[in-house]
Amino acid sequence: MDASTSIKRKTSHTTGLGPAALSTATAVTSLPTALASTGLPSNAHAAKKIRVTDRQLPEDLASVVPESRMLSDLQAFEKKLDATILRKRLEVQEAKGSSFATQRTLRIFVSNLVANQAHQLDDEPADPTADAKQSTATTLAEAIAEVNAKAVLVPSWTLRIEGRLLELPYSKKPTVGHKFTSFFESIVVELLRDPKASATDPTPAGTDLATQAQRSQVTEWRRSGAQPDTDGLEIKRTGDVDVPVRIVLTPRTSVHQFQLSCELAYMLGLTDQASQSATAQTSGITMTKLQVITQVWHYVRQHKLQDAVDPQRIHSNEPMQRVFGVQDWSFPLVSHLLRPHLLPPPPAVIHYTVQVRPDDGGQQTAPQVYDLQVDFDDLMRSRGFGYHRATHVHSQISRVDDQLTTLIRAIQNSQQKRRFLQGFAEDPARFIHRWTAAQARELDTIAQERSDLSEVARKSKYFQDSWVDEAVLYYLSTQSQNQA
């Protein structure tokens, strides 16, 4: 097992339209908008005006339906409640820190089972009727069948990787709902055996041994949203020899951690040059990106590298120029300069050997136990943000919002229709004049005609242009077609 990881081994045990012509079609097309401007309900206009997120009732509805104030009061209370919840969440997050994750110990158990191995077949109890059976197997066919029955028993082994979260010393309730795989992004198991070492698991003919070994000896589990978490993993293979295994565990973290390069860590004074290996690419120090930027800012302030006129302008000294490769740079570009020096953290590696002959001669080896520090979301985060993670709740709220929007749109259309009919009933003549004026304004807008056209049309010279002949011919042809 790699010494650079924070995993610790424990003692082994057994726990596991266009506007060119003013035709009838143009007038009909513009009619809904003109009617809507006078109070006539129009579905096209309402669909254009009302958004999906608009769930407000008409303001004049309360005078007709006093009960509509209840919905307005509920919506106001909802906004107030959302603001209060958001404020409390920010207060809790500020008091507890940017991350709710705490470090807990995950105990990992690695063991293997064996089946149909040589020592198990040799240790089978003797059958008292074996002599009688041997005497009865007089024919050759019976002898061959007996040999084939024994040949079907292929030796195999099963690798088990399990784990559980250790309880806190003074915890009153056990931690539930956190399975082993929920703490990892991926788990890779590499079998370091020679493909030619086992006669019971031969390499297919015509296949390169190295390629076959590289392709078939690696098993990977990767996190998927459709795959539920489990308490462990099992890998079954055939074989009758001991197999070295390399288990690579990539932890799942709530905050992105990065490993600093040796040059950056030495510049910031986090390591000394004497302790750096000649072949090492990383320093072994992990930080968040915000922490690294803070360290760089402290370095700039300590060495007085800011420009006197522009404080955002940084003049690199010799160590910083050697790391970043620039002499003068702006501090908002620090994320771009740090990118080559922030590497992913190393995974935890466990080295294990699958034993086909357990020490006690049984079917299962004693588990090797390892402790790994993992990020754990505490109860405050699970209670405070569990609602926001519930996808079924969000889908249910979305359906209710759609139903509410549909009902409010119907209420708005009904209220618009009521205003139209009420205005027509109170003063029909004035309403018709207002409606025709609105329609004329709409037609002028569609044909790109403005109010200044009336001033131009008052002069007789306007009707002496060449377009009048074409317009008269078009008008006469339209009238003849209508009369036909």
Q: Is the pLDDT of residue 108 over 50?
A: yes
Beta bridge partners of residue 329, listed in sequence order: 314
- 228-240 residue pLDDT tens: 888 999 999 988 8
The rounded Cα 360 to chain-centroid distance in angstroms is: 47
What distance in Å separates the CA atoms of residue 291 and residue 70, rounded to the nearest whole number? Answer: 50
Res. 127 pLDDT band, cuts 50 70 90: low
Q: Strand, helix or coil at 181?
A: helix
The domains of the chain are located at 24-55+391-483, 101-256+346-389, 273-343
What distance in Å separates the CA atoms of residue 434 and residue 394, rounded to the nearest whole number? Answer: 47
Most confident of 148-162, 243-257, 292-306, 409-423: 292-306
Taking CA atoms, 483 is separated from 159, 206, 461, 479, in Å, by 92, 89, 32, 6
Average per-residue pLDDT in the chain?
74
DSSP string computed for 297-336? HHHHHHTT-B-SS-TTEEE--HHHHHHH--SEEEGGGHHH
- Among 183-197, 348-362, 402-416, 440-454, the minimum mean pLDDT is found in 440-454
- 66-77 residue pLDDT tens: 888 888 888 889
Q: Is the pLDDT of residue 480 over 80?
A: no
Could you say which architecture CATH assigns to the domain 273-343? Orthogonal Bundle (1.10)
Work out the average pLDDT over 255-275.
Answer: 82
Report residue 280 as tokens.
């090492």
Q: Is the pLDDT of residue 125 over 70?
A: no
In 3D space, the residue among 370, 372, 434 whose CA is nearest the CA of residue 111 turns out to be 370
Beta bridge partners of residue 107, listed in sequence order: 164, 371
What distance in Å separates the CA atoms of residue 51 and residue 406, rounded to the nearest whole number? Answer: 11
Q: Is the pLDDT of residue 414 over 50?
A: yes
Higher pLDDT pick, 321 / 52: 321
What distance in Å separates the CA atoms of residue 117 and residue 196, rounded to the nearest whole number? Answer: 18
Q: Rounded to 5, what percent of the chain is helix, strand, coil?
A: 45, 20, 35
Res. 481 pLDDT band, cuts 50 70 90: confident
8 Å CB contact between 29 and 396? no
Residue range 101-256+346-389, CATH number: 2.60.40.1970
The rounded Cα 401 to chain-centroid distance in angstroms is: 24
Res. 452 pLDDT band, cuts 50 70 90: low
pLDDT of residue 3: 41
8 Å CB contact between 57 and 72? yes
Model pTM score:
0.51
What angle separates helix 428-446 from helix 24-38, to the nearest 10 degrees?
A: 130
